[in-house]
Structure 1
Amino acid sequence: MVPEISKTAIGIAAGVCGTIFLGYCIYFDKQRRSQPDFKKKLHEKRKAQKESNSTHAAKPTEGMPDLKDDEAVRRYFLQEVQLGEEMLATGELEQGVEHLANAVAACGVPHQLLQVFQSTLPPQVFHMLLTRMSDLGSQTRAGASNTGLIVDDVE
């Protein structure tokens, strides 16, 4: 016979685990902040980020960034996904699909992103995305073919 555990015992155990986790986080944050060069590294990181943002804001992205610059690719990817979502929300499907296709082209794992889009986008929009990607070129087509997704699958 298996003893039953009461809801109170489960609640107490969850509270204790939460407290231990919080203590763990606080301890390691204190350790991180007590490092001698923490403030120096933080200041340098923020300065570099500020310079990067001002440079990025000064010239808008016109196409794919340098693929060797991971940070630029990440910013481009996030920007394209955000623009695509905004365009789709306002009903501008063509432009939204264009931005989402650019995001897929910049993504390191396009097949996973396409699977997410397949589950979140309406079927007709996903079909438009696959069609647009086939127009982008061989790089994107290779990423889309790795997914095993076929345009007929969404109909």
Structure 2
Amino acid sequence: MEISKTAIGIAAGVCGTIFLGYCIYFDKQRRSHPDFKRKLHEKRKAKKQAANVNSGRGTNVMPDLKDYEAVRRYFLQEVQLGEEMLATGELEQGVEHLANAVAYCGQPHQLLQVLQQTLPPQVFHLLLQRMQGMGVQQARASGITVDDVE
């Protein structure tokens, strides 16, 4: 029993038509759902806000200090943004984000020690200057000064 190319072509066409019909039916059902537009707007808004935060140009909303989880998320976000900015060569923005992270860190002394070991000396020097400019007391309280950087 031999199947001709024409029969295979017809079978493929029928399967393609059935699949296309299913896609159209599913899309119509999805769009006719009452919450479709509301969810679409919410999803687009969330995506736009995430893009603004990730680009570093988003509003720098400080967390409520009473909400431990919000402070932790803010700290981690600022460290990540600082590392990304430094990696792309944007030193000023990277140092600003790292200074924000130190300001909201529970143990600024240990964080400054880690940053001093991992950052180049000129970048760490900029970080300390930025922190002093911000009025952050953690730099003085930690015992690390600008003169300590080699």
TM-based fold match above 0.5: yes
Moved more, 73-82 or 58-67: 58-67
Alignment-mate amino acid for residue 150 of structure 1: T
- Residue 136 of structure 1: CA displacement? 1.1
**Secondary structure, aligned partner of 1:80:** helix
Distance 2:109 2:80 in 1: 19
Please list the CA deviations of residues 106-129 of structure 1 after superposition, one character each: whole Å capped at 9, or x if unmatched: 101111100000000000000000
Structure 1 position 145 matched with structure 2 position 140: yes
- Residue 61 of structure 1: CA displacement? 5.3
Point out 4+ residue stretches in structure 1 off by more than 4 angstroms. Answer: 57-61
Distance 2:69 2:144 in 1: 29
Unpaired segments ≥5 residues, structure 2: 1-45
Alignment-mate amino acid for residue 79 of structure 1: Q
**Higher Rg:** 2
Tell me what 2:122 maps to: 124
Tell me what 1:4 maps to: none
Tell me what 2:88 maps to: 90
Tell me what 2:60 maps to: 62
RMSD: 1.8
CA contact (8 A) 1:64 1:106 kept: no
Tell me what 1:9 maps to: none
1:108 pairs, out of 84, 106, 109, with: 106
Structure 1 position 154 matched with structure 2 position 134: no
Percent identity, aligned pairs only, is: 75
The alignment of Structure 1 onto Structure 2 pairs a total of residues equal to: 97
**Secondary structure, aligned partner of 1:146:** helix
Alignment-mate amino acid for residue 139 of structure 2: A
Distance 1:62 1:150 in 2: 27
User: How does the TM-score come out when normalised to structure 1?
Assistant: 0.58
- Residue 62 of structure 1: CA displacement? 2.4
